[in-house]
Structure 1
Amino acid sequence: MSAAAFACPLVALLSTGGTSRNSTKYSSFHACPLHRCKKNSFKTATRCSLDLDIFQEKERDGILYSLPVSNFSARCRLVIYAKEIPIEIQTPPTGLKSEEYRKVNPFGKVPALWLADNNLTLLESEVINEYLIDKYMHVSPSFIPKTAENRAIARLVSRIHDLYIGPYQYGLYRDVAMTERQSCFDAGRKAMQVLESVVQATPYVAGERISLGDVALFPSLVFWEYLAPRYYGWYPLEKLPKLRGWFHFMKTESAASEKVYKEVMEGLETWEKNGRFEKMGLKQQRVA
């Protein structure tokens, strides 16, 4: 069987002329994802190595396709950083909606995780994180609370986020009618009020260990805390002391959470510098 048969879906495009701005040395049993391999490299082996040495010849276990300003991608990056998993993080080089990237994720969204060992691609952030926690269970932190009750709380926090906060976050930064924006804010406000009664903040949302509940909620609240006061005159956590204390703790909880916080903030600041919000007239809007 040819080496190309094992390649990540975007290899075919990039091996014939496409490139990646963030290319790194990559070594894999199957193929070199998203990069041009050295000439004739597949004639002798199913490995390839690229020119930049950011990873110092380390083998990568796969690639996470991600965007800095993506709360769902950020929760996966947090787990990868915290466990120091050898997974390369890439921006989709051909764009989210391109035909090539849809071969990786048919929905044209991030995150997506391509695994080098078995040429498997996983979609959906919670599925990806559950895989990472299972696969790298031997690496600390475990992201699993000690008790059944706390594990249930962690899942509940993640579920509330995914159903009642994440789907409405677009109201913060997309050009939609004010009535729709208000509806998004009402949904987010209600969910945060419910979470205030659910989270333990001792210091994590479900006890003494970081969990998928913390990972799901933290990147999204960076969006709400940055955008809501600036453009809507609303301070989301002002009257939610447990959530507020937990959020400020998470910002400096570890090098991993600090890195994710910085990535998301830099992405939002770039949007602002590029005039995204001003063009939408957000400075004149307020929410009830």
Structure 2
Amino acid sequence: MSRKRSMGRPINGVLVLMKSAGMTSNHALQKAKYLFSARKAGHTGSLDPFATGVLPLCFGEATKFSQYLLDADKRYIATFRLGVATSTADIEGEELARVDASGLSAAQIEKALAAFRGDILQVPPMVSALKVNGQPLYKLARKGQVIERQARAVTIYQLDILAIRLGPVAEVDVDIRCSKGTYIRSIASDLGEALGVGGHVSKLHRAAAGCFTEDQAVTLEQLIEELGERSADVLDHYLLPPDAALEAIPKLALSNISSHYFCQGQAIMDMRVYRLGNQGDTVRVCREDGLFLGLGEITDDGRVAPRRVIATGT
């Protein structure tokens, strides 16, 4: 029996989507995939349903490099509510405790937040996509299970206070730039615990993911309006190249002949690689006309060996 051919267009590229509140990241992905009539697509790290902001989506061959966005630094604008603890450490959870926070001062909050800058240890929340023994924690949480989680090291590169509103339930607006795997909800909860009043995130907006910022992002509503009754290719101008997330990786341009052999899986002799890095380092390989071919690794004898090649590079 012949295998059924997958439906959709074989498009390749990165879409910087502005996710709206009230939908899961997967719902946003599937909607965008449908609008572009794309054969293959994947997102690069979930945003909670209540959260908004930058959600890069990879189409086609770009999915091969989504890990670079998963591993990238992020920037968030968030509001912490102090005085109310919830089951999920965010606004969607069940209220667990309420403590009058009117005794807090701005100076106390600022001093407590200082402990969350730099290299810190975080215990992931139970309601998260982190897997333990192959099971996402949120699935265990739905069953009422609470298991011990290991603290993980993350880095908070920047944590600026934008505004503080004091009262029985105090609010703190913050601007956070952090490493991968950081849970903003955990910062809010841990801050509330440190101040003795509990806390959670009431608003969360991702302003940047890796090299992509909200200035580059397009909403689903914009895509729907522009598409109208026309064919999906009218939206292709929103797609960035498959290597858009790899710009920090040094680039090596190969001749057409060398490009051909690289795409066939052969290591290419090119002493220029030593100007780009050392043995074992990754390089971004392109054809002389700029066409992205994939990622290669510098070998000990001055060659670049294919590590991840895209199908359109042949």
TM superposition score category, shorter chain reference: under 0.3
Normalising by the residue count of structure 2, what TM-score does the alignment of the two structures yield?
0.23
Normalising by the residue count of structure 1, what TM-score does the alignment of the two structures yield?
0.25
Higher share in strand? 2
Larger Rg, first or second structure (1 or 2): 2
> Quick one: higher RCO (CA 8 Å, sep 6+), 1 or 2?
2
